[in-house]
Amino acid sequence: MSEERLKDDITSGQFDLFGKILDADDGVLGDLKVTSSFKIMKALGIYKEKIDTGEVYKSGLKKGLPKFKSELRYDGVKEVLEWAIQLNYYRMLLEQQGFKVSKMFIQAICRDSNLRIAQERGIDKTVYIIPINKISDCWLKKYFSHKAKTLRNALETKTLPSVCKIRERWGNKKCTDYCAARENCPYAKKITQFAKTQEQKGVEPDDYRKTA
Ligand code: SF4
């Protein structure tokens, strides 16, 4: 099956593929994502570690300060919660219809895989198949009920809900570079202004995002 729309009394959604999509197992649920190398790096648990080179800057704003270089590490937390929540909700809706879902995968297509920045993030392929674990149905129902209530309340009262959690904001990087709502989000405007000021002072993004 592909692109079937399913719904319950909380929400609805349309998954991309379900069935024998990888091997002989006919219970595989998959979703396609066209996304950035940054998000794939996070999903694979890749991160950069700063290594002291033992040298110092000889001129400029950073004169006298130690020089660092970045090295990639591959043992970080796999940040796939957003995808896992969405895919698990499709799983739950399918199971309510009597289908058995045995495995879940995200097929992540990297939209900037030909750029140097992707290589620097350890992303050297265009497509990654990322396994997704099961989340309990009880947790999913509570989460989506809360989100639906928050949205209804915001629409009725014409007030914005509280700022997204730090996990949802990817430590503010989503607000400055990726969120589809950032043009209209007061928090994104504030944090983008803060980022500009810090960059003018020569503070590295990884450092100022921790203090924002
Ligand atoms: S830009 Fe606004 S809506 Fe988007 S993640 Fe940041 S806080 Fe949330």
pLDDT tens track of the chain, all 212 residues? 877 788 887 887 788 899 998 888 899 999 999 999 999 999 999 999 999 999 999 988 888 899 999 999 999 999 999 999 999 999 999 999 999 999 999 999 999 999 999 999 999 999 999 999 999 999 999 999 999 999 999 999 998 888 998 888 888 888 988 898 999 999 999 998 888 888 777 777 766 666 56
What is the pTM (predicted TM-score) of this model? 0.79
Nearest-angstrom CA–CA distance, 62 and 203: 10
Which one-letter amino acid corresponds to residue 46?
Answer: I
Atom of ligand 1 nearest to the CA of 180: 4
Q: Compute CA distances 165 → 29, 160, 169, whole Å.
A: 28, 14, 6
- The reported pLDDT for the residue numbered 89 is 93
Interval between CA 62 and ligand 1 midpoint (Å): 32
Residue 151 in tokens: 């949205």
Instruction: Tell me how far apart the alpha carbons of residues 176 and 73 are, in angstroms, rounded to a whole number.
Output: 24
From ligand 1's centre to the CA of 171, what distance in Å? 11
* Residue positions counted in the chain: 212
DSSP assignment, residue 136? -
How many CA atoms are closer than 13 Å to the CA of 206, on its beta-carbon side?
7
In testing the pocket of ligand 1, which one of 168, 170, 194, 209 has its CB within 8 Å of the most ligand atoms? 168
Report how far residue 192's alpha carbon sits from residue 108's, in angstroms, rounded to the nearest whole number. 27
By DSSP bridging, strand 103-110 and strand 28-35 are parallel
Q: How far does residue 179's CA lie from ligand 1's centre (Å)? A: 6
CB-ligand 1 contact for 212 (6 Å cutoff): no
Q: What confidence score (pLDDT) does residue 206 get?
A: 67
> Cβ(169) to ligand 1 under 6 A?
yes
pLDDT of residue 210: 61
- From CA 62, how far away is CA 2, in angstroms rounded? 55
Domain borders along the chain are 5-56+66-158, 162-199
Q: How many CB atoms lie within 10 A of CB 36?
A: 20
Q: Does the beta carbon of 179 lie inside 6 Å of ligand 1?
A: yes
Distances (CA, A) of 121 to 3, 88, 157, 176: 32, 28, 42, 18
Q: Would you state the pLDDT for residue 194? A: 86
Rounded Cα–Cα distance for residues 212 and 201 (Å): 15
Task: State the residue for tokens 């350890």.
Answer: 122
Residue of 39, 169, 183, 184 to test ligand 1 pocket, by largest number of atoms within 8 Å of CB: 169
